[in-house]
Amino acid sequence: MESRAITPASVPAAAAFYSPAILAEGSQLLFISGQGPRDLNADPETQIRETFEQITLILEEANASMKNVVMIRAYFLNMARDLDAFRKVRQEFLVEPYPAATAVGVTELAVENLQVEIEAVAVL
């Protein structure tokens, strides 16, 4: 898979470790459903790290890695509290060219006590 970031000067990234757009070439798409942490009682940073670990395991099962990820979507019950932790943790996992990304604050997630859910799209 080959990809490159699309970063027009007039469309600056709102934060580090993501790209406004990714142009990717590959033969298969992997859509990873929303993932959450193993420990729903952990602090937000740990929950986010565990969620990225879950995504990494799924990628590995598909013979891929974070290098193949072209899109990340994160959903937060408390974005004001958790967005900084998300921005910190994602840099431990994501690689250049950084995937396109969206963060959304929501009022409810599908699993009780789930505070963050992250989905991804990868090109293989």
Provide the domain limits for residue 88. 2-123
pLDDT digits (tens, 9 = 90+) for 48-67: 999 999 999 999 999 999 99
Q: Report pLDDT digits (tens) over 62-115.
A: 999 999 999 999 999 999 999 999 999 999 999 999 999 999 999 999 998 999
For residue 96, the SS3 value is: coil
DSSP string covering 54-73, please? HHHHHHHHTT--GGGEEEEE
Angle at 32 between CA 26 and CA 40, to 5 degrees: 150
Structure token pair of residue 103? 């963060």
Count of domains forming the chain: 1
CATH label of the domain that carries residue 85? 3.30.1330.40
